[in-house]
Amino acid sequence: MLEYGQIFCFIFAVSGQGFLARDITFENTAGPTNHQAAALRINADLSAVYRCTISGHQDTLYVHSFRQFYRECDIYGTIDFIFGNAAAVFQACNIISRLPLPGQATVVTAQSRDSPDEPTGISIQNCSILPTDDLQSKSSTVKSYLGRPWRNYSRTVVLESYIHDFINPQGWSNWVEDQGLDTLYYGEYENYGPGSGTDGRVAWAGYHVMDYDDAYNFTVSEFIAGEEWLDSTSFPYDGGL
């Protein structure tokens, strides 16, 4: 276990290429009152993280840049706890929202794509999006969302995943007023569970209920060319839908 409790401190930061992590806990113990306090930052191409726990509150996991893959990980946080501008795929992970400070909402993702030409985004596939018990007990008063646009071309999709009913029916939240609402790409495909219904979702131009072809663009094989490099890691992965 790697842990520390200082605000704005990355407990573990990786640069380079080919970073692999397995069966490790990365934890920032700063607590919710210290605001941004990341546990793990990765800006290394061809990175893969398997069966790890990544735990914090606000801004837990900074998927900074390049191609990244997460499999069977437990990721905990409150606000924007998966954030950054990598091309990142999460498969078979438990993504767990914690109770925030009074007056705050929880937000799973804050993707920061700046340009429509960037091949980046967050793809959450075959995962479970869940609350902690204390958040669930207050879900009638604490709003929770799948994501919000940190930059104008923010791109996040949720595919074939279980969504608990603590997620607000709107699904997604704005950042500042109407920033990025027409230019972002947020999508959902074949999700299930009591929070997965799309009838009450936001009516933004950038929100999409995806079809098979749309969703396939965000798979391991298409989005991060995973079949070209993940076999060498020995970590399991699903190439398609």
Cβ neighbours around 47 below 10 Å, total: 24
Catalytic residue list contains 80: yes
Decide if 44 contacts 17 (C-beta within 8 A): yes
* Calpha distance 195→162 (Å, rounded): 8
Q: Residue type for 39, please?
A: A
| CA-to-CA separations, 118 to 46, 83, 87, 108, in angstroms, rounded | 17, 16, 9, 22
Q: What are phi and psi of 21, to 5 degrees?
A: -135, 140
Specify burial of residue 31 (Cβ count, 10 A radius: 0-12, 13-18, 19+).
middle
Helices (H), the chain: 133-137, 212-216, 220-223
Contacts of 107 (CB under 8 A, 6+ apart): 79, 80, 81, 144, 145, 146, 147, 148, 173
Distance, CA of 142 to CA of 185 (rounded, Å)? 25
DSSP 3-state of 113: coil
Among residues 45, 59, 74, 80, the one annotated as catalytic is 80
Residues with catalytic roles: 80
